[in-house]
Chain A
Amino acid sequence: MPDAILIPSTPPPAATPLLLKLANIFACPGEVFEELATAPPRIRNWLVPTLLVAVTNVMVAGALGPTDPGVATLGQVVEAGKTELFTARWKLFSAMTLTLAAFAATGWSALVFWCIGRAFLHARFSYWKAVEIVSLTGGIVALGAVVKALLAVVSNDLAARPDLSLFAGHLTAEHPARAALGALNIFHLWSTAVLVIGLSKVSGAGLKESAFWVFGYWLVLRLALILLS
C-alpha cells in the first residue's frame, strides 16, 4: 500500500496553490494530504504556514497585552526613563521567542510524527513530508489563537480559552483538574484529528491505526503529564 502511494502509476494531479491548501485544511484535509503525499517536498509548504502561526500568535499576544506579572515588576526595577524602551524591547524579544517557538515546535512535532510513521507503522516517508503536514495543520492553530483572543475580549478574562476549563471557573489555574480540562481544547482536538488524517494518508495505514498513535501521543500522553504534575 505505501509503495502504491510513493510510486503512483498515474501522473500526479496539478499542484494546488498554497493559499488553497491552507483553506482546504479546514474543510477537506484528506485531499490536501493526499496531494502532499505524492508531491515532492517544498520549502514554502512548511515555511509559510509556520510563519503564519507565529505572526498570528505575536499579533494576538500584542493585542491582548502582557499577561506576565514579571514584566511590570521588572519595569519598576529598570531605571526611570528607560521603562518605555524596556517595554518595547520586551515585546520585540517576546515576538522573537514566539517565532522561534513556532519553528522549534513544528520541527519537534514533525520528528515525533515521522518516528511514529517509521517505527510503529513501518511506513517510509521523508522527514520534510512530516514537517509539511504539521506546518499546514498550524492553520488551525492560527485560527485557535484568533478565537482565543476574541473569547478573552468577550469574557473580559485573559485566561479564557476555547476548552472545557471554561466550565471550571471556580477552580484555580494551577488546579490539576482545570489543567486536565484545559487539555480538551476544541482546536487542539481538531488539529490532532487532522494530524491523524495526515498520518493515515502519508503512511498508507488505516485511520484507526493512525488515530491510536497520534491520539496516544498528542492527547493521552499530554493528559498523563498534566495528571502527574
Chain B
Amino acid sequence: MNRALLYLWWVLMRRRAWHGFRALRRPTTLIAAAYAIGMAGVLFYFRENEIFGRMVQREALVGGAFVMLWGSLFKGVLQRGLVFEPPDLEFVFTSPFTQRQILLYRLLPLYAYAVMQGVVFGALFAPHLARPLLAATCMTLFQILCFHLATAAAVFSGAISERLHYRLRWMMLGAFFLLGALYLRAAFGIILLPAFARSPLARLLFYPAANLPDVTTSALARRWILSLAAGGEMSAPALLRPALWLAGFGLGASLSLWWLLRIKTSVFEPSLGTTTRRAEERLRAREGRAGAQRKGRTRSTRLPEFPLFQGAGALVWKNLVVAWRSRRELLAAFGFVAIYSTFLTALLWMFRQLSSKTGFASGLDAREATLEFHLAIALFIAILAFFLQRIFPFDFRRDGPHLLGFRTLPISPLAVVMAQIAVPTLLVLACQAVGLVPLLIFGRFSWPLVLLLLLGYPAIAVALNSVWNLHYLFTAARQATGRAQSASPVGSVMVVWLSFLVFFPAWWTADHLRHWLTGPYGLAITVGTALAIQFAVDVLLVWALTSLFQHFELSGEAPGGGR
C-alpha cells in the first residue's frame, strides 16, 4: 500500500466524518442518527435475549453467509466496474500508482467497515458465542472476503459484453433464488413452492417437455373427470347455468365494446380540454392551490360590516368565502362525517337497547362501564379531527403563496395566525357537533363532564390545526425562497408524529391522575386538569406558529441573509 494513498484515505475519511457530524444540525438527519443510535442501544440492552442466540445458530449463520456471499457477487456484477470519487479519476488515476495500489486504496474504506461490523457483531452476540473474539475476527475476515469477491466481480463484469452481462445477471438471480429455496428446504424444512406448483397439473406449464396423461392423475383433474362421469355437481346440466351466466355477461361486455368502438364522435378534442384541465388541477394541488379556481366567474362577495370581520377578521371572512366556494370539499367532508356519525349513533343505540334488555345499566360497575363506553365514543368523535383537518385546506396550506401579502397587512402576526386557523377549526368543530349531539342525548353525562367535553373538542382542534399549520407555513416559506418545491415525505411523517405527540402531556397527566383521584368529582377533575394542560400546549403551539410567521417576515425582507 502506497503511503501517499494511505494518507489521502485517512484525510478523506476524517473529513467525511466531520461533514457527517456537522450534518446533524439538520433536524431530519439528527432524528435519523438518534433513531439509529437508539435502535443500537436497544439491541445492545437486549443482547442476552434468546432471539439473539437463535440468530447465531449454525443454520442461521450458514444462511447469512450465503446471502452475504451471493449478494456481494451480484452487487459486483451489477456494478460493472469499480466506483471511485470523481476527483480520484483526475488525480489518483493520473498519478504514478500501480493498479494494485489503487485497488487497495479503493478497498481501505471497506476494510474499515468490515472491522466496524465485526465489532458490532461481537458486541451483540458475545453472550451466545463460545469464542466471541474468534467469531468477530472471522466475521470481519469473511466480510473482507465478500468485498474482495464483489470487487473482482465488478472488474470482471466491466470487461464483458452487454449481452453477456445481461444473461449473467439473470442467471445469477435465478441461481440465487434456487439455491436460497433449496437451503430453506434443507435447513429449515420450509417449502416455498405453493401446492399447485407441486401438482401434476403444473407439469403442463412445461409442455412439450411434459407427459400429457400425467394431467389426469392430478387431484383437480381427477375430481373434475369423476364429477363429470358420475353426474355430480360438475355434471353438464349443473355446469350449464354458470356457463349461460358467463356467456351472457361476456356477450354484454363484447357488445358494449363493439358499440363503443363504433362511436364516430371525435375523441381528441374533448380529451384535450379534459387533459389540460386535469393537468392544471394537479399542478395547483402540488403548489398548494388546489380548488382555488373554478369554472366560470365567481361573484365577488362584499365584506360584511359586522365588527367580527373587521381587521384580522377579514381574513376569517376570506377563508369562509373560499370554504363556501369549495363546495366539493365541504360535501366530501360532510358525507364522511354523516357516515361516521351514523355509525357511532348506531353503536350508541345498540348499546342502549342491549343494556335495557339485559339490565346491564344497573349497579355501580355497570354504570362505570357505561360511562367508559360513552367516553370511548367521545374519543372517537375527537379522532374525527385528525381526518377532517386534512380535508379543510382553508388556512396557510392554501394561503402559502400569499404570505408576503399578509406581511403587509396592518395587523399583528398573532392575529393573522389566529385568523388563519379559525375557519378549519370551526368547520372541524361543526362536524364533530354532528356526532356529539347523539352522544349527549344517549350519554346523559353530568354537567361538569358536558362542559369539559365541550371545551375539550376545541382544544384538540386548535392543537391539530396549529401543528399542521406549522408544517404548511414552513413549507410555504421554503417554497417562497425557492428551496423546496413541496413537503418531503420525512417532514410529513414528522408532522403526523407531532400531531399525536402534542396530546401526550395531557394524556399522561390524565392517566396518572385517574388512579389517584376517585369519588364523584374525580373524573371531572382529571379531565379538567388534562384539558388545562392541553390548552397550555395549544398556547405554546400558537406562539410557535406566530414566531415562525415573524421569522418568515424577517427572512423575506432580507433574502439570502436568513439562517
Q: CB within 8 Å of B: which residues of A?
A: 53-54, 57, 60-61, 67-68, 70, 74, 78, 86, 89-90, 92-94, 96-98, 101-102, 104-106, 108-109, 112, 120, 134, 137-138, 140-141, 145, 148, 161, 183, 185, 188-189, 191-192, 195, 209, 212, 216-222, 224-225, 227-229
Contact = CB atoms under 8 A, between A and B. Distances in A.
12 contacts: A68-B222, A74-B226, A89-B228, A104-B204, A105-B205, A148-B211, A191-B209, A192-B208, A216-B174, A225-B193, A225-B198, A229-B191
A68 B193 contact: no
Contacts of A220: 174
Given A61-B213, A89-B230, A217-B206, 20 more contacts: A61-B216, A68-B217, A70-B222, A74-B230, A104-B204, A105-B204, A105-B207, A112-B205, A120-B170, A137-B208, A145-B213, A185-B211, A189-B209, A192-B208, A192-B209, A209-B167, A222-B209, A224-B178, A229-B191, A229-B198
Contacts of A60: 213
B229 to A, nearest CB: 4
A140 B208 contact: yes
A97 B229 contact: no
B501 interface: no
B211 A161 contact: yes
Contacts of A93: 224-225, 228-229
Contacts of A222: 203, 206, 209
A33 to B, nearest CB: 14
Q: Which of A61, A96, A134, A228 counts the most B-chain CB atoms under 10 A from its CB?
A: A228
B204 A67 contact: no
A105 B212 contact: yes
Interface in B157-210: 163, 167, 170-171, 174, 178, 181-182, 185, 191-193, 197-198, 202-210
Secondary structure class of chain A's binding surface, majority of residues: helix
B184 to A, nearest CB: 9
Contact of A57 (B171, B212, B217): B212
B198 A94 contact: no
A98 B193 contact: no
B221 interface: yes
Q: Which of A78, A185, A218 counts the most B-chain CB atoms under 10 A from its CB?
A: A218
A108 B224 contact: no
B208 A98 contact: no
A51 to B, nearest CB: 13
Contacts of A140: 208
A78 B182 CA distance: 44
A209 B162 CA distance: 13
Contact residues on B (Cβ < 8 Å of other chain), bracket: 35 or more
A101 B215 contact: yes
A141 B212 contact: yes
B217 A108 contact: no
A94 B225 contact: yes
Interface of B: 163, 167, 170-171, 174, 178, 181-182, 185, 191-193, 197-198, 202-213, 215-217, 221-222, 224-226, 228-230
Q: 8 nearest interchain CB pairs?
A: A105-B207, A188-B209, A191-B208, A89-B229, A93-B228, A229-B198, A105-B204, A90-B229
A222 B193 CA distance: 12
Nearest to B198: A229
Given A90-B229, A188-B210, A219-B209, A225 B174 contact: no
Contacts of B197: 225, 229
B139 to A, nearest CB: 30
Nearest to A87: B229
Contact of B208 (A68, A89, A141, A148): A141
A108 B205 contact: yes
B213 A57 contact: yes
Q: Which of B208, B211, B222, B228 counts the most A-chain CB atoms under 10 A from its CB?
A: B208
Contacts of B204: 101, 104-105, 108
Q: Which of A96, A227, A229 counts the most B-chain CB atoms under 10 A from its CB?
A: A229
A219 B174 CA distance: 13
A212 B167 CA distance: 8
B163 A209 contact: yes
B229 A108 contact: no
A85 B115 CA distance: 78
A182 B204 CA distance: 15
Contacts of B167: 209, 212
Q: Which of B197, B198, B206, B226 counts the most A-chain CB atoms under 10 A from its CB?
A: B206
Contacts of A137: 208
A107 to B, nearest CB: 9
Contacts of A89: 228-230
A84 to B, nearest CB: 12
Contacts of B216: 61, 68, 94, 97-98
Nearest to B195: A229
A221 B210 CA distance: 13
Contacts of B193: 225, 228-229
Nearest to A73: B226
A29 B211 CA distance: 22
Given A57-B213, A67-B217, A93-B228, A228 B191 contact: yes
Contacts of B213: 57, 60-61, 67, 98, 145
A60 to B, nearest CB: 7
B206 A218 contact: yes
Contacts of B224: 93, 97
Given A145-B212, A209-B163, A109 B229 contact: no
A189 B191 CA distance: 27
B232 to A, nearest CB: 11
